[in-house]
Structure 1
Amino acid sequence: MKPYASPRACATLAALILALQGAAAQADGPWPNKPVRVIMPFAAGGSSDLVGRQVAQSLSAHYGQQFVAENRAGAGGNIGVDAVAKSAPDGYTLGIGTSGPLANNKSLYHPMPFDAEKDLTPIALVGEIPVVIAVNPAVKANTLAEFVALSKSSANAVTVSNPGNGTIGHLATEYLSIHTGAKLQPVPYKGDSPAMVDAMSGSVSAVVAPVTSLIPNIQANKLRALAVMSKTRFPGLPDVPTANEQGVKLEATVWSAMVGPAGLPKSVVSSLNAEINKYTASPEGKAKLNSLGMVPLSGTPEQLRELMRNEATKWQEVVKSARISIE
């Protein structure tokens, strides 16, 4: 005798089959059809985190799906970016990385938990925060050339604070010393603020750090900015010349970009790239990123890949020459 199935059981089974088919169709539907996780590799509240959250918010509005920011800080950004690199390449885990974990850290951390060139998909550049060199007002130098000359004539190396060992401020100071012959002594601190405070007090002669945290004290004449280390002048300090303008070929910035795991579908990459470029070029995007001290940028995924490769090579030479290491 065949087992009997009641009409109610048949109806329940049919509903279950339809639900499963619907779920499968949804999973295979247009991206994104569920929330997207956006990993921020630094602590909440910092400039990099705030930039990432602005981008995530704009993407949520555009796609009609939540792009949820998740902080995974540690190891100079490596922990968060490693989580991106090891995620499924389905478009539902992305990251907002910076020049540290996407390029510079390759030479500083041994071993690296991921290979940025092989394990990540470049998506879109968001913007950059230039590095600035500023001196205590008592230092007798008004230009970068005068500062270099002063260091060469001093009996001891001129002390220059930075936000920490291996940070872009540290690397830029070593680059300046290597390429100009300046006699400088980098002094690492734990963050921008203490490095800046000791430069203002005269405990050290100068500070090299991302411009964002230094702007108020430069404008208040508590520090004298000698140069910004970007291709063009920084809009927030239009009277401060670039290092390039002063004959020193030095560019050092903290740039931010969206990346995903290797193998991310081209359709997802193209869609995100177009939308992020649209945001960074919009009046709203420019205003919000400018408020965080960032200069908005745009470009193709291929240009971002080239930037990652070139920056890694440039700073590798500095790390090797200066014998910088992070334990």
Structure 2
Amino acid sequence: MRQSILIALAASFSLWGSVWAQEKYPNKPVTIIVPQAAGGANDAIARVVAQKLTEQTGQSFVVENRAGAGGNVGTAAAAKAKADGYTLMITADSAQVINPFLYQRTGFDPVKDFEPVAPLARAGYVLVANPSFPANNMSELIAQAKANPGKFAIASAGNGTLNHLIGEMLQKATDIKLQHIPYKGAAAAATDVVSGQVPLSVQSMPSSIAFVRAGKLKVLGVVNEKRVAALPDAPTIGETVKGFGATPWYGMFAPAGTPKDLVQFVQNEVSKALDSGDARDRLATLGCEPFKGTSEQLATIVRDDLVRWSRIVKESGAKVD
């Protein structure tokens, strides 16, 4: 009798252990939606993080680019995904806190439709030009543009993207007129500036730093409030245009309703990933720096930036649709 009870208990514990193992998260590949095209800052950062999460958990975290409408297509898809932890989103601040004021319809609510997981990184942004462009700094650009209103084109990653809006802000702040040329992604825009098809573009460091270091693009000014470590000698635009500046951030979100314990698990793994030396080195190579924080901190950043960008978009007059 005693032996039978022990055998039954052993079988019971074995079954419980098997069920626990099956339900342990993650037990299948996790999709990370990136609402921007491959080759840009968000894509590069997402791939660094996805690789680290794959290494740490032993399960695949797969980046899936769903570009379109300045990030709205992928963001709306993430908002509608099953809230089971197997769909996450890594996005730029532009799609999450700027698009709601640029578009009449985005297909998502930036607060109600998402569970913030963790901030990931800050990236440097630069105004770059083809080496043959006659201006070599912001003062010269402003003088050239005022003497030739509407003559010079500025490429962006697409209507409503962050570099499009920064370009609009720059024109407003300097009282110059540039011709906006939207592309399907930052990489395509950077390539055409390198080839001389378009003279100017606002670019993230990840999508432009290799061209800058190779002498195929020149930096007219850094968009960030402070100079960036990857280009310490490059002045900020704000050093010429007082009060101008923005420091874009990137963060991870899950669909609203994702269980809190799964959100906490991913947040912990992200924190561990950002602490690793190789991830920090790879981000530095891209011209980015880790931006560690909690889900609560990311939620606060989103709420504060919605207020801030609402004002900036209104003042800039930028609209898409």
Give the TM-score normalised by structure 2: 0.79
Q: Is the 8 A contact 1:35 1:68 kept in 2?
A: no
Q: Is the 8 A contact 2:119 2:292 kept in 1?
A: yes
The alignment of Structure 1 onto Structure 2 pairs a total of residues equal to: 310
Alignment partner for residue 52 of structure 1, among 14, 26, 46? 46
Q: Is the 8 A contact 1:34 1:66 kept in 2?
A: no
| CA distance, structure 2, for counterparts of residue 297 and residue 103 of structure 1 | 17
Deviation at 1:114, TM superposition (A): 1.2
Q: Is the 8 A contact 2:36 2:71 kept in 1?
A: no
Aligned to 1:26: 20
| CA distance, structure 2, for counterparts of residue 177 and residue 258 of structure 1 | 31
* 2:124 partner SS: strand
Mapping 1:127-166, distance limit 5 Å: 127-152=121-146, 154-157=147-150, 159-163=152-156, 164-166=158-160
User: Are residues 188 and 90 of structure 1, via their aligned partners in 2, closer, same or farther at CA, if it must alter by over 3 Å?
Assistant: closer
User: Are residues 269 and 205 of structure 1, via their aligned partners in 2, closer, same or farther at CA, if it must alter by over 3 Å?
Assistant: same
| CA distance, structure 2, for counterparts of residue 186 and residue 45 of structure 1 | 21
| CA distance, structure 1, for counterparts of residue 116 and residue 207 of structure 2 | 28
Deviation per residue, 1:262-297 (Å, 9 max, x gap):
233433333322331232232111122234443322
Aligned to 1:238: 232
| CA distance, structure 2, for counterparts of residue 69 and residue 220 of structure 1 | 28
* 1:250 partner SS: coil
| CA distance, structure 2, for counterparts of residue 188 and residue 44 of structure 1 | 13
Deviation at 1:71, TM superposition (A): 4.2
Aligned to 1:93: 87
Deviation per residue, 1:216-253 (Å, 9 max, x gap):
44334443312111243333322212233445333345
Mapping 1:109-188, distance limit 5 Å: 109-152=103-146, 154-157=147-150, 159-163=152-156, 164-188=158-182
Alignment partner for residue 257 of structure 1, among 251, 256, 259? 251
| CA distance, structure 2, for counterparts of residue 221 and residue 177 of structure 1 | 26
From the CA coordinates, give the structure whose radius of gyration is larger.
Answer: 1
* 2:152 partner SS: strand
Which region of structure 1 is more displaced relative to structure 2, 125-134 or 201-210? 201-210
Aligned to 1:8: none
Deviation per residue, 1:93-150 (Å, 9 max, x gap):
3222222332222123332211011111111111133221123445554432343344
* 2:112 partner SS: helix
| CA distance, structure 1, for counterparts of residue 204 and residue 314 of structure 2 | 23
| CA distance, structure 2, for counterparts of residue 302 and residue 99 of structure 1 | 16
Letter of the structure 2 residue corresponding to residue 98 of structure 1: A
Aligned to 1:189: 183
| CA distance, structure 2, for counterparts of residue 132 and residue 146 of structure 1 | 16
| CA distance, structure 2, for counterparts of residue 219 and residue 88 of structure 1 | 43
User: Are residues 308 and 78 of structure 1, via their aligned partners in 2, closer, same or farther at CA, if it must alter by over 3 Å?
Assistant: same
Structure 2: runs of 5+ lacking an equivalent: 1-7
Answer yes or no: is 1:295 the counterpart of 2:299: no
Aligned sequence identity (%)? 37
What RMSD, in angstroms, separates the aligned Cα atoms of the two structures? 3.5
Letter of the structure 2 residue corresponding to residue 112 of structure 1: T
Alignment partner for residue 31 of structure 2, among 31, 38, 43? 38
Mapping 1:201-280, distance limit 5 Å: 204-252=198-246, 254-280=248-274
Letter of the structure 2 residue corresponding to residue 41 of structure 1: V
Aligned to 1:11: none
Q: Is the 8 A contact 1:149 1:182 kept in 2?
A: no
| CA distance, structure 2, for counterparts of residue 33 and residue 187 of structure 1 | 42
User: Are residues 200 and 265 of structure 1, via their aligned partners in 2, closer, same or farther at CA, if it must alter by over 3 Å?
Assistant: closer
User: Are residues 74 and 157 of structure 1, via their aligned partners in 2, closer, same or farther at CA, if it must alter by over 3 Å?
Assistant: closer
